[in-house]
Amino acid sequence: MSYIGKEPADSFISFAKQDFSTSATTSYTLDNAVTNENELALFINFVRQEPTTAYTASGTTLTLQSATASGDDMYCVYLGQAKQTVNAPDGSVGNSQIASTIITGQTAETSIATDDTVLIHDTSAGALRKMTRANFVSGIGGLDTIFNLSKNGDQASISDGTLTKITGWTANVDTGSGWDNSNNKFVIPSGKAGKYLIGATISQTQSGGGNSGRDTYDIMIFKDGAVAFTNHDKTRPGADFCSNHITAILDLDAADYLEIYVKVTAGGGSTTVLEHSGYQTSNDCTNWFGCKLA
């Protein structure tokens, strides 16, 4: 078909429709102004009415030749006023229709709630899906299962050659709420089984002791009351300060619990495990951490 001027562009349109609440009257108000009655099609009880003969219209005033009755079904379609529809046809929007600024410049979130959703592409279904933050991070890291503890006081006079549990910790971070303060142990929370990175630094001083060589110093990570990992080291004898470290990756199930033990063999004398800020710098003193890797 030929056109004078620019060919009309395709658009998604539908004619505007208005429903009326009827009563015993001949006068009604239109939602949209019209020039005359020929610009709208009026239906009463599903029968189309004849313009001019059955009704007249001007501006927003609609006047009927005969009054309606309460309960009549009456509506009109505006023939001269097309409205854009909200929805385009299925599958009609592609890359070229989406502006590059659809994301750029929008308000950036600085945090995400557990029930907030993220958009992902499901390759098996070839479709976009939404997923809550809680389900999105589940199984890909322990962002919600991290703990960091520091010693809140010196633990003095640890007997020579005796396996001793380190107690008196303060929880600086405990996102999984697994720290059992009364029993000085970390319990793996329900639903948080997996691989964990566990590490500890134990700082101590020794006094006395009869070894002429180096003293031995063991740090042990206990799991469910038994040794899971040990770091065996040697330290200088006498009244020296030293820090010893242990790091391990452990497979842990829900309700498994972890504890830290030490054993110092110094040929007599005594050992004091120092609190977090008990020596030169807090970086050198006693702390314990863990986080879920997967």
Q: Within this chain, do residues 263 and 151 fall inside the same structural domain, yes or no?
A: yes
* 221 and 266 in a common domain: yes
93 in any annotated domain: no
Residue 128 to residues 89, 101, 124, Cα–Cα distance (Å): 18, 20, 11
Q: What is the CATH number of the domain that holds 279?
A: 2.60.120.40
Residue 94 is predicted with a pLDDT of 74
DSSP letter (8 states) at residue 51: B
> In which domain, by residue range, is 136 found?
115-140
Are 158 and 123 members of one domain?
A: no
Question: Structurally, how many domains does the chain consist of?
Answer: 3
Give the whole-angstrom CA distance, residue 224 versus residue 257. Answer: 5
**Helix, strand or coil, per DSSP, at residue 136:** helix
For the chain, 294 residues long, the average pLDDT of each consecutive 10-residue run is 58 80 95 90 96 94 95 92 61 74 73 79 86 68 79 82 90 92 94 92 72 69 96 65 87 96 76 63 72 88
Instruction: Return phi, psi of residue 284, to 5°.
Output: -90, -5
pTM score, two decimals? 0.52
Given this model, what pLDDT does residue 179 score?
95
